[in-house]
Chain A
Amino acid sequence: MASYKYHILVCGGTGCHSSQSNVIAERLNEIIADKHLENDVKVVASGCFGFCEKGPIVKIMPDNTFYVGVKPEDADIIIAEHIIKGRKVEKLLYVDPDTKKHISDSKHMGFYQKQMRIALRNCGFIDPENIEESIARGAYEGLGKVLSDMTPAECINVVKQSGLRGRGGAGFPTGLKWELCAKNSADQKYVVCNADEGDPGAFMDRSIMEGDPHSIVEAMAICGYSIGATKGLVYIRAEYPLAIKRLQIAISQAREYGLLGKDILGSGFDFDIELRYGAGAFVCGEETALIHSMEGKRGEPTFKPPFPAVSGYLAKPTNVNNVETFANVPIIITKGAEWFASIGSEKSKGTKVFALAGQINNVGLIEVPMGTTLRDIIFEIGGGIKNGREFKAVQTGGPSGGCLTKKHLDTPIDYDSLVAAGSMMGSGGMVVMDETSCMVAIAKFYLEFTCEESCGKCSPCRIGNKRMYEILDKITKGKGKMEDLEELRNLASVIKDTALCGLGQTSPNPVLSTLDNFWDEYVEHVVDHKCRAGVCKSLMRYEIDPIKCIGCGACSRVCPQDAISGEKKMAHSIDTAKCIKCGACYEKCKFGAISIK
């Protein structure tokens, strides 16, 4: 990066891209060309910086200035002030919500202070389409070390000693998995990277592939060397066009540099990687289903054993790891197992990346040491609940996980504590909810997802989940009975015990955890026909308070049904027969005159 005076890193992650970060980059380049600054300034579309809430983000190096909420028209002032005159553009700096001070370096922002970046170490620091920038930051050092100084067994041992566990959900020890696969001899073995990322509301793996694709390429080659495989396959969602493009570029650059292909770095080791595309089926994230899908079949899971380490892709020994798991490997090799094992909690080492979303102030991609508490994540990093509302629940583990409450806020995040609390780590989705979320409706939301995504092969999952969904639907419509709650528990335990794969075995978790933690809310729906969050439409009624209403008419103008009437400047009223309970009036009223009954 040395030859330029300034690098302007414009976030090219999906969130910022959706807010026109590409236009910002184009505009910057136009001005740079106009002012003949091409030799001094370089604009780079970087990977995700993580602070999506404040996007689009533009960072200026070497002085580390972090601009937030940048618009295309701000390009002029950034060049004119910062680049030419060397003055920071105050209006684009982050304002600390407590002290109201402007902060220019991300290190001093609450959002970043409790974070620790290992898997995301290069995201937002490099141009992901340029291998030289990756190499300058240490990419392929691990592969070089492994090929020149280490035997496969030594390499596996380092991964084992580091305590790294799978980041795809189940948390299986990675070194042990490699060892199992290395032990099976075969004429061909495979390394598979699971980049299916099906959890709705999660984008960790995508951001790593978009922001630092070389870490995956390098780690897969290290894994191949360790287990004795010469072929790698990345199973990636077709819905991730940018990640696909960046991986393709990374793979072809690595080939050019002799870091993939035949006789890598003159070591005699051959390894190459191909991409395989998923086609939108959540169950294909499950490793046996994924393997069938790569073989060109329907993505239906099969019973384990045999595990993929024995019989996987094309019935050959196959090692499947998640994207984030792989992203940790190169740095474990270069910095050593002790370094990695010194981070995190007793049984969960290192860090975990989460996609923090929902009713929280700082939505974004975060990485924290294992053992950090939910409270620190939600209130320190996440900046608390949006609009000053009350925290109600946090969901981790997606459709396989559960909803935790206030009483769990001091739970340290690691594989075992989350399971003990009734949820699970999952792949890293973390959705925060406030009092406007109905927990029965959330349980129904996940079950609807499971019903849609169930492959239909085993009946507990295909039929059982459908029955659970129907019961939840009845409850949200005010037609539930107390016996139904019992029936939900019965069905849940049968499905957990008898479903074929992880999808079915974990699908009752959102229901069970809400039954455990929000029992009162279920009872209210059943007995009082009430939804306190005002989400279940059949159970609510909008009313206008005639004292608070000033008759401005804003509500009647947004009402799609013409259900609101009243004279100008007089109290209005809602015709409940016409009302479709869309809530538009409720959101529009500035005087708090409309309430949900």
Chain B
Amino acid sequence: MAVIKLSESKVQFIKGVCKSFNNEGGEVINVLHKVQGEFGYLSAEVQELVAKELNIPVAKVYGIVSFYSFFTMTPKGLHPISVCLGTACYVRGAEKVLDELKRQLGIQVGGTTPDGKFSLNCLRCVAACGLAPVLMVGDKVYGSMTPDKVKEVLAEYND
């Protein structure tokens, strides 16, 4: 096992979460939800520590992190952008909005801009189909998107 380079406070946080679930291996998904909620992503070191605390193989933890799309191993940008690619948004032109975002940000889906400001992801349905196509920046929903509105939306976050 690699030497754990996490800060002491993070180590304590993870240990505390594991303990609150009685260090039970079966609770690993709940533990990972809590830990990702705090840190934003699940680094290799974090996974190793969770595995150790729950007394299960790291491979099992990694298997879960890589299986579920909610879990991520890379930090998101300061303003994470998610484009809804649910069917309702798709038939109303979400792909064109996504293409325009990729072009303006110069990144692909799953990427983060070099300055760490924006990251780009897709999600499936935010239940705002009346506003399709929609995208989210952080928790804020932008509805009735078109490629030419992309610039305005990004400008709100460029100060």
Contacts and interface: CB of A to CB of B under 8 A. Distances in A.
B123 to A, nearest CB: 7
How big is chain B's contact interface, by range? 35 or more
Contact of A203 (B27, B28, B63, B129): B129
A243 to B, nearest CB: 10
Contacts of A587: 146-148
Contacts of A239: 70, 123
Nearest to B88: A357
Interface in B81-105: 85-92, 96, 99-100, 103
A503 to B, nearest CB: 14
Contacts of B130: 15, 52-55, 357, 363-364
Contact of A279 (B68, B89, B103, B146): B68
How big is chain A's contact interface, by range? 35 or more
Interface string A183-219: 0000000000000001111110011000000000000
Given A18-B126, A239-B70, A281-B68, A584 B131 contact: no
Contact of B129 (A52, A277, A395): A52
A316 to B, nearest CB: 14
B6 interface: no
Query: SS class of chain B's interface: helix, strand, loop or mixed?
Result: helix
Interface in A1-52: 13-15, 18-19, 52
Given A18-B143, A582-B99, A357 B87 contact: yes
A278 B21 CA distance: 17
B29 A18 contact: no
Given A201-B87, A296-B26, A15 B64 contact: no
B142 to A, nearest CB: 8
B9 interface: no
B19 interface: no
A584 B147 contact: yes
Contacts of B68: 278-281, 299
A276 B143 CA distance: 30
A431 B26 contact: no
Given A15-B131, A279-B29, A299 B87 contact: no
Contacts of A206: 127
Nearest to B69: A280
B96 A582 contact: yes
A455 interface: yes
B121 to A, nearest CB: 11
Contacts of B30: 276-277, 296
Interface string B123-139: 11111111110100000
Contacts of A279: 29, 32-33, 64, 68-71
Given A207-B127, A582-B99, A293 B29 contact: yes
A138 to B, nearest CB: 26
Interface string B99-120: 1100100000000000000000
Contacts of A580: 99, 103
Given A15-B129, A18-B141, A19-B143, A433 B134 contact: no
Contact of B134 (A18, A54, A431): A18
Nearest to B64: A298
Contact of A296 (B28, B124, B125): B28
A53 B131 CA distance: 7
Interface in A281-313: 281, 293, 295-299
Contacts of B70: 238-239, 278-280
A436 B92 CA distance: 9
A295 B26 CA distance: 6
Contacts of B143: 18-19
A558 interface: yes
Given A200-B86, A296-B25, A560 B126 contact: no
A355 interface: yes
A445 interface: yes
B60 to A, nearest CB: 8
B148 A15 contact: no
A332 B88 CA distance: 33
A298 B29 CA distance: 9
Interface of B: 25-30, 32-33, 63-64, 67-71, 85-92, 96, 99-100, 103, 123-132, 134, 141, 143, 146-148
Interface of A: 13-15, 18-19, 52-55, 198-203, 206-207, 238-239, 276-281, 293, 295-299, 355, 357-359, 363-364, 395, 398, 429, 431, 433, 436-437, 442, 445, 449, 455, 558, 560, 580, 582-584, 587-588
Given A19-B143, A296-B26, A296-B28, 10 more contacts: A18-B134, A52-B130, A201-B86, A239-B123, A277-B33, A280-B69, A358-B88, A363-B88, A558-B148, A580-B103
7 contacts: A14-B126, A19-B143, A277-B30, A296-B28, A298-B63, A429-B87, A584-B100
